């Protein structure tokens, strides 16, 4: 009888991946990052198990979008007080907090449960080219299309 392989926490090796967001499309970049966080690029991928790597994203202020999304896409938040709805468009959000744009796009592609909350903590995003994770020796991500 064959048994299904189920990876245990101590059997999974989690590395660090460095992704440069400069000139990348927001949606395509978020898809790549969420796949790495979930571990879909590994042969030991199992749904519901954290088999992915840590991801460090640099240069997130240089992302691009297609069409008129810079003016037409809005991010909403509410203070839970009457008339407390705030909205900001993508261009202003990229000027003020560019890391929030990528975090929100990636979060939308992860499962919204305990696993997703665990995975989003493994995502480190920085607006500029510098990051404090040099000791982990992150490997630069290269897509297979190049």
Q: Is residue 80 part of a domain?
A: no
Q: Is residue 73 part of a domain?
A: no
pLDDT tens over the chain, length 146 residues: 788 888 887 888 999 999 999 999 999 999 999 999 999 999 889 998 999 999 999 999 999 999 999 999 999 999 999 999 999 999 999 999 999 999 999 999 999 999 999 999 999 999 999 999 999 999 999 875 55
CATH number at residue 26: 3.90.1180.10
Q: Is residue 37 part of a domain?
A: yes
Q: Is residue 72 part of a domain?
A: no
76 DSSP 8-state letter: E
pTM, entire model:
0.91
Q: Is residue 87 part of a domain?
A: no
Residue tagged 């929100």 (tokens): 104
Give the total number of structural domains in the chain.
1
Q: How crowded is the C-beta side of 123, counted as CA atoms within 13 Å?
A: 26
């Amino acid at each position: 009888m064959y048994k299904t392989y189920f990876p245990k926490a101590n059997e999974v090796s989690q590395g660090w991946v460095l992704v440069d967001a400069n000139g990348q499309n927001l949606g395509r970049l978020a898809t790549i990052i969420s796949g790495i966080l979930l571990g879909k690029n590994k042969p030991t991928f199992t749904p519901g198990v954290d088999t992915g790597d840590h991801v460090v994203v640099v240069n997130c202020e240089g992302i691009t979008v297609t069409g008129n999304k810079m003016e037409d896409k809005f991010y909403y938040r509410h203070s839970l007080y009457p008339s407390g709805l705030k909205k900001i468009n993508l261009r202003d959000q990229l000027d003020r907090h560019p890391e929030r744009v990528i975090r929100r796009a990636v979060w939308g592609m992860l499962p919204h449960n305990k696993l997703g909350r665990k995975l989003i903590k493994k995502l480190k995003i920085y607006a500029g080219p510098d990051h404090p994770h040099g000791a982990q020796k992150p490997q630069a991500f290269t897509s297979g299309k190049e």
